[in-house]
Amino acid sequence: MSSLVSFVQCAGRVKAACLPALLTTWMLLAASGARAEPSTAGLSIADEADLRALHEDGLLPAEDFETLRELLRTGVEVRTASREALYALPGLTWAQVDALLAYRARVEGDFAPEALVEAGVLTAEQLRQVRPFLSGAARGTRDFSGRLRLLTAYGAADALVPPVLLQAQAEGPLGLKGGAVASLTRRRLDRVGYAPRRRALVAGLPGVAPRLPKFHVRWEGEHASVLVGTYRLGFGQRLTLDTTGRPAPDGFVPDEAFHVPGAPERRCMLTGTGACPAEGPQGRVTPDFGWTEGFRGVAATVHGEVEGVALAFTGFGSHQSRDLSQYELFDTRTRKTPDVLAVLPGQSLPGAVRFVSRTLPDVFHELAGGGHATVGLSPRARLGLTGWGAWPVWAVEGVVLDVQPHSRFPAGGGYGAVGADATWGAGPVDLSFEGARSFSGPAGVGGGFGAVQRTVLGDRRRELELTLRYYGREFDNPYSRAVSGPDESEGLRASNELGVRLRYLHQTEDGAWRMTGKVDAWTQPPGSEASGTLHLGASARVDYVGVPELQPSVWVEHRNKDLGQNGPGLCFEGDALCAGEQYRVTGRVRLDATESLRVAAQYQHTLVGSRQRPGSFQQDGRASLEVLVRPLPSLRLHGRASWRDEDLSENTRLTQTLRTSLEVVWAALPELGMRARYELALDLKSPVGARSPPELPQHLFRLELESHF
């Protein structure tokens, strides 16, 4: 611990004399023990509704939420998945993954996931935790199978056609697979143009239109695989290239990601004289289904073995249209953010009415390509080389556009990165390293260096992970998802950062107690404006699962934006000048009263720095109650109520809400299922003395139909 303190003190000074202390810290931690996913270990997840509830309650970070949601939708085939793919399952350590692979190598043919418990590879609790993320059973003798999902949402105040999304997945003979996501949008702007006389962008009002944002066809053979359509890919330590979000990416996966509609938004998206009529109770509308933009084109992998050495090469090419917020754009002639004027119905030219806070579709087309080569000396030792490049082609004619410094895309033209990664493991030790150089701007003269080193030691019960990272101020890689702090530097998280993260997972021999923890400290590299300002994030969690019927959990979190400044009165949320602290403690208990009844209650209390409380901390509260009932094997009822108060001392300024929901899941037939959800949101803010009046009650209905064939 004294060595860790030495690192913290040295990071604050960032002097060369601190190098011995940094090396000593690394050696002591590497010698003392073992990687974990503390944010996902011990969480009870059965479907996307559970994931969404955990994310809304602050138990699941946004990055883990996105990753686990995609795992739920795609599934992991435990009988054939790679070491890296199995590691993405929540709560598993590298030692457990290696034990699973060893068992798989001993067993000939197919096996049920329950066999892993009988063999001692996983505990019954661990199998329960990962089961929702496992793909279904083999198709048997069927040559063609798949599933269809139809989703829609509707708000009580809607006067529009509701948003609709259709997802299709299919698997055929000869290793062929495919899928598509189609959506009916009503809030997405149409094509954006330019009005030279007004020196502004221009767009018409959105209308109801079908979209096909995701599609793919994939072939998998014994030594090669090819995908045409939308995909995501990543390698190594996620430093040089990663768009998958998985903790250990190794190649490409189909991109079928989408977002369900959230809270209702203002129907009127314009500002200016006469832009919006007075909005009464019908002033809100349900948002569209959304999606993120991966790559779109072709990706292929060829792999084999030569004299005991595994060789693999992955190449990809992409032509993807990118959306940008209007505030990310920059007019190189006027040196300002351009306005986006609206062409109202019955007009041929734009007036003074403008769009506000809208995402502009297909602002530029990104041409990208690259590849990754791997040499595997053993299942746990390999070397890799990654390189990629991209060039934006702006789609708006008549104006020279570029991106603002706070956009995640580099300004000035093309961008890309090259990097090398290496992994080695023996016994309880796994070592990984990746270094990268980004390139951007004219002739690629911009960009900088980044490096990540990870040490993991442990067994099936304990695991310790130490991650060291350095990202230069000019490291401007938009497709890096390496370990980083939650803050951003010019739109990027993995940039302008020097840090260390320590994570630990421990489970008792009988499996009754599970303890997880994380400490993350980072600062800006020497030469940066805020060099020497040390940030700290720490958390610890304890779960008791010794009694299946009653499982309590408690965890604490602390974040500090500047260890050199402490005490109340310093803001925590807000602009970059905020240097405050946040303390949080949460308790949760789950009661499995019977096989058909489960109840879970949780309370979270937060102390956070605020300029409104110069002599004390602002106190926030959040509580939730869940009830799960299974009256029939084919019927599940899930009720949930959550309360949130951002300042317990007053009720006129910040968020104060009560949200309730009831979800009904019914498997009418083995091949057909239905999920219906109703949500009610109440604004508890006082109408007397409030800066803005409380929102009217919000009602949202969601319906999902799923069919397997």
Q: What are phi and psi of 130, to 5 degrees?
A: -95, -15
Q: Residue 460 in contact with residue 95, Cβ under 8 Å? A: yes
* Residue 336 burial (10 A CB sphere; 0-12, 13-18, 19+): exposed
pLDDT class for 12, splitting at 50, 70, 90? Answer: very low
Q: Which has the minimum average pLDDT: 35-39, 51-55, 385-389?
A: 35-39
User: Per the domain annotation, does 197 fall within a domain?
Assistant: yes
pLDDT over 90 percentage in the chain = 50
**Distances, alpha carbon 2 to alpha carbons 58, 219, 456, 536, in Å:** 32, 54, 21, 16
- Tell how far CA 544 is from the center of its chain: 27
- Domain carrying residue 352: 174-272+294-404
Give 256-284 pLDDT, tens digit per residue: 989 888 888 888 888 887 777 655 445 78
User: Per the domain annotation, does 300 fall within a domain?
Assistant: yes
Task: Give strand pairing partners of 472.
Answer: none
Instruction: Tell me the residue type at 58.
Output: G
Residue partners of 347: CB distance under 8 A and separation at least 6: none
Q: What's the confidence (pLDDT) of residue 42?
A: 54
User: Per the domain annotation, does 507 fall within a domain?
Assistant: no
Q: Residue 74 in contact with residue 254, Cβ under 8 Å? A: yes
Q: How many helices (H) and strands (E) does the chain have?
A: 8, 34
Is pLDDT above 80 for 134?
Answer: yes
Instruction: Tell me the residue type at 433.
Output: F
Of the two residues 75 and 106, the one the predictor is more confident about is 106
User: Per the domain annotation, does 361 fall within a domain?
Assistant: yes
User: Per the domain annotation, does 594 fall within a domain?
Assistant: no
User: Per the domain annotation, does 690 fall within a domain?
Assistant: no
Is pLDDT above 60 for 317?
Answer: yes
User: Per the domain annotation, does 382 fall within a domain?
Assistant: yes
pLDDT (mean) for 237-263: 90
Is pLDDT above 50 for 670?
Answer: yes
The tokens describing 577, both together, are 């000048």
Average pLDDT for the chain: 86
User: Per the domain annotation, does 326 fall within a domain?
Assistant: yes
Query: What's the total number of domains in the chain?
Result: 1
